[in-house]
Structure 1
Amino acid sequence: MNSSPILPTCCTALDAHWPLPSVLPETVLLSTRFDPKQLLGDDFQRSAIEPPPSIQRSVAKRQAEFLAGRICARAALQQLEGSSVIPAIGEDRAPVWPAHICGSITHSTGHAAAIVANKQHWRGLGMDLENLLETERAERLAGEILTPPELQRMAAGAREQLALLVTLTFSVKESLFKALYPIVQKRFYFEHAEVLEWTEQGQVRLRLLTDLSGEWRHGTELEAQFGVQDGQLLSLVSIPA
């Protein structure tokens, strides 16, 4: 039996805890904490992960993010189906998964995660991790992220929830893009979807505001979920097979 690659010093042991309200069957989600200051020069080699040229040229923070995310992705695929594939970076900068696999990798300050599934169970998975915005910054960014109806609902809500709402809207639209882009192969942006409603228990309902394909048309609604822990918000959009 092959020995597992060594975990770099900059990463904690992989965590299989499910951090969201609803567990998705037939998926594997793994996460790790990482510290760029502890990244060593030979960590990629020791982890048996070849960094692409763009990562080799980047700063320690970006290198640690990439390494931590790929370690999670490889281990998730290993757990799912026994393969040791490491997703490459595609021309569109998205991870390149095996043809029968859908997955998503995300990272924010000191935290990385990956989720994978076989396409016979899930057509698309999009996951995004964000640091919770400060209220003042959320107010400044709201006009770039929220649609006019979303801005109206924000204005009608409690100010103490404003930062959570803007962070959630940003994150869940990122997750939506990650889940749908591999299916439709068409780019779309914050103004092309809106959050219709969300609950403090972590459920979200989204609606497309543009036609992306014959199947994914203006008005299509999708479900998402999110969780908040240690000042970070994790969101997930999952599209069943």
Structure 2
Amino acid sequence: MRPAEASVDMLSGRLPASDEPRWHEPPPLPRPFLHQAGDDLAPGPQISVIHFQPYPFCSTAFHEHGIALPATIARSVPKRQAEYFFGRLAARAALARLDIADAQIGIGASRQPLWPAGVVGSISHGGGYAAALALPAQQHEAAGIDIEAVVGAEMGEALLSTAISLPELSVLRQINSASTLEFLMTVVFSAKESFFKAAFPTVGYYFDFSAVTLSAFDEVRRSLTFCINQSLSPRLHASARFSVQYDLLDAHTVITHCGWRGWV
């Protein structure tokens, strides 16, 4: 190598420009967008949604963007870390709509999100989306959301053995629908997940899918009606009914939401 091509400038001690390490800013984060639940006749809550790619993901994003990284998540695979990170990022956007800034959404003993005092909310992720809903506790008693990618035939069989009963399957088969049975089952499964998330802060324990039963599926209003089969709490008593709304984030991804201001 000729002296002029030496790898270090002896006067400055710096590498030549062509050899200097190139430091890049982290790629910009996808921006949250608002999903307006419900319809024009019965508008529902606005849900903060982020469409993200789980790969590549580096856990340094937590520090770079001021989101706490629990030890259990730090030990998990990058895909799980990405889901948790973007879920909390969506929660930050949802809280900002309530004029709450810089709040950390912790994780409880049952992996439930821990919201700031005075807030009820829910977080979900699936199908490359993360979403969060935050509402003032003075006006809302409970909130639950869920995102699910529409299942295929094999997963549909699994739902029939775990989450959807034969009477519920009968309800779905009676619907004059252009949608596939797998799509309808995905909606029911997601709706039950939304109810679980809304009810868990009151109930305080895990309960089976059999605790509630689908009684009606309205494709026009995108609404499902369920009946509670067992007493989950004094407020969520057996024979009580509740509704869950659903929508589509894209042709293959369902989002559902459930909540109440006061149990009726």
What TM-score results when the alignment is normalised by the length of structure 2?
Answer: 0.81
Q: How many angstroms does 1:85 deviate by?
A: 1.0
Aligned partner of 1:184 among 195, 203, 221: 203
Q: For residues 38 and 82 of structure 2, what CA distance do their matches in structure 1 show?
A: 24
Q: How many angstroms does 1:224 deviate by?
A: 1.1
* Residue type of the alignment partner of 1:214: P
Larger Rg: 2
Retained in 1: the 8 A contact 2:225–2:243? yes
**Could you tell me which residue of structure 2 aligns to residue 228 of structure 1?**
248
Q: For residues 180 and 127 of structure 2, what CA distance do their matches in structure 1 show?
A: 22
**Could you tell me which residue of structure 1 aligns to residue 142 of structure 2?**
124
Q: How many angstroms does 1:210 deviate by?
A: 0.8
| 1:197 is aligned to 2:208 | no
Percent identity over paired residues: 30
Q: How many angstroms does 1:173 deviate by?
A: 0.5
| 1:105 is aligned to 2:123 | yes
**How big is the alpha-carbon RMSD for the aligned residues of Structure 1 and Structure 2?**
2.0
**Could you tell me which residue of structure 2 aligns to residue 95 of structure 1?**
113
**Could you tell me which residue of structure 1 aligns to residue 53 of structure 2?**
35
After superposing on structure 2, the runs of 4+ consecutive aligned residues of structure 1 that deviate more than 6 Å are none
SS at match of 2:214: strand
Aligned pair in 2 of structure 1 residues 194, 11: CA closer, same or farther (>3 Å)?
farther
Q: For residues 39 and 19 of structure 1, what CA distance do their matches in structure 2 show?
A: 30
The 10-residue stretch of structure 1 (150-159 or 169-178) with the greater mean CA deviation from structure 2:
150-159
Aligned pair in 2 of structure 1 residues 89, 220: CA closer, same or farther (>3 Å)?
same
User: Structure 1 regions of 5+ residues with no counterpart?
Assistant: 1-7
Identify the structure with bigger relative contact order (alpha carbons < 8 Å, sequence gap 6+): 1
* Residue type of the alignment partner of 1:13: R
**Could you tell me which residue of structure 2 aligns to residue 212 of structure 1?**
232
Aligned pair in 2 of structure 1 residues 141, 29: CA closer, same or farther (>3 Å)?
closer
| Residues 191-221 of structure 1: CA deviation (Å, up to 9, x unaligned) | 1101111122311111111101222111110
Retained in 2: the 8 A contact 1:208–1:219? yes
| Residues 56-90 of structure 1: CA deviation (Å, up to 9, x unaligned) | 11111111101100011112112213332121010
The 10-residue stretch of structure 1 (100-109 or 28-37) with the greater mean CA deviation from structure 2:
28-37
Retained in 2: the 8 A contact 1:139–1:163? no
Retained in 1: the 8 A contact 2:168–2:213? yes
| Residues 70-112 of structure 1: CA deviation (Å, up to 9, x unaligned) | 0111121122133321210100110011231100000003110
Counting only pairs closer than 5 Å after superposition, residues 30-69 of structure 1 correspond to structure 2 as 30-69=48-87
| 1:138 is aligned to 2:156 | yes
Q: How many angstroms does 1:166 deviate by?
A: 1.1
* Residue type of the alignment partner of 1:16: L
Q: For residues 133 and 41 of structure 1, what CA distance do their matches in structure 2 show?
A: 29
Retained in 2: the 8 A contact 1:28–1:117? no
The size of the alignment, in residue pairs, is: 232
The 10-residue stretch of structure 1 (190-199 or 121-130) with the greater mean CA deviation from structure 2:
190-199
